[in-house]
Structure 1
Amino acid sequence: MDKTAIDDVDIERNPMEVHSVRRPISRALGFTDFAMNYFELEPGESFSGGLHAHHDQEEVFYVQAGTATFETRSPDDETAREVSVDAGEVIRFAPGEFQHGYNDSDADERVVGFAFGAPKARHDWDEIESLLYCRECDAEVGHGLELTEDGNFRMTCSECGNSFVVD
């Protein structure tokens, strides 16, 4: 058995600094079969760096306080939709379903919540796809991502192979 207080788990920030509080609970307790992260999002902050899909995990978000907004897009539909998730509500994304969760910049309060992923306690970087505008393709297309040795993200267009680092 392992036990910890959430406040005792060190804060680990996204390389793009899109949130100020993320506590990787699963890493702190040595989870192997699912991921669990605690977040506090100030107005304008997000759970992740943008619209993305995990092809190797389903993701579930529980909002404990505040209201999170999720931009969603299914893999076979280019129409994005926004869904509000209030305190006490849960939202699930299937593997391959694009999503981006955030606290609106004009919100009056912060969002406190948890992100869960399964199977596995960590996703494989090569199983994440982000939807980004590619200057070479002149369109919004899927980009693979990898974490560089410097702790930044390298994005690579799945259509043309154009690559760039986000720092």
Structure 2
Amino acid sequence: MERVAVDDVDGRIGPAAMVRGLTEPLGLTDLAMNYYELDPGDSFAYAYHNHEIQEEVFYVIEGTATFETESGDVDVGPDEAVRFGREEFQRGWNRGDERVVAIALGAPLSYGESVTLRYCPECEGETDNDLGRADDEAAVVAHCGRCGVETGRWYRGSMAGEVP
């Protein structure tokens, strides 16, 4: 058995006010698990995306999360869960005025290949993006896969450059 207090897990850089990865502290080998706190305007993910082999479930504890999907927006409120299958595009946001608290589960643990679509001002459209660390390791940076221009930059607990 493994046990961990969420507050004892260090937060990491992400597109939300708080992202705490619970996968490693719990010793999970077949399932990814993350705890999120989203301030208004925050997102669960860096981009509208899918995963080749992983399905995801989001369980909302507090607030209402709005998920962009191929068939339109879907609101998920407290004590509700939503599942996204393999290769199904989605991105969840806090578009309300109250904080969203949620748990995300993904299985299997590996994503496989992912497509991460973000708006590129140079290409004037949605393009696949590559995510990586800034040279100083203090930020996660997205670059257009077509032209290389930076399309987003996130620091711990910030949504720099994001517009939901």
Normalised by the shorter chain, which TM-score bucket?
0.7 to 0.9
TM-score normalized by the length of structure 2: 0.79
Following the alignment from structure 1 to structure 2, what is the Cα–Cα distance between the partners of residues 134 and 43?
Answer: 23
Q: State the Cα RMSD in Å.
A: 2.1
> What is the percentage of aligned positions where both structures have the same residue?
43
Higher share of residues assigned helix: 1
Q: Which residue does the alignment assign to 2:20?
A: 23
- Counterpart residue type for residue 40 of structure 1: E
Following the alignment from structure 2 to structure 1, what is the Cα–Cα distance between the partners of residues 7 and 122?
Answer: 44
Taking a change above 3 Å as real, the CA distance of residues 133 and 32 of structure 1, as seen in their structure-2 partners, is same
Q: Which residue does the alignment assign to 1:77?
A: none
User: After the TM superposition, which segments of 4 or more aligned residues of structure 1 sit over 4 Å from their partners?
Assistant: 134-138
Gaps in structure 1 of 5+ consecutive residues: 74-79
Q: Are 2:117 and 2:129, in contact at CA under 8 Å, matched by a contact in 1?
A: no
TM-score normalized by the length of structure 1: 0.78
1:111-122 map, 5 Å: 111-120=100-109, 122=110
Taking a change above 3 Å as real, the CA distance of residues 139 and 128 of structure 1, as seen in their structure-2 partners, is same
Following the alignment from structure 2 to structure 1, what is the Cα–Cα distance between the partners of residues 42 and 81?
Answer: 19
Q: 1:140 aligns with which of 120, 123, 126?
A: 126
- Deviation of the 1:149 alpha carbon: 6.2
- 2:103 aligned counterpart, secondary structure: strand
Gaps in structure 2 of 5+ consecutive residues: 154-164
Q: Are 2:120 and 2:149, in contact at CA under 8 Å, matched by a contact in 1?
A: no
The alignment covers a number of residue pairs equal to 149
Query: What do residues 27-80 of structure 1 show as CA deviations (whole Å, max 9, x unaligned)?
Result: 22221101000011111111112211112311110001111100111xxxxxx5
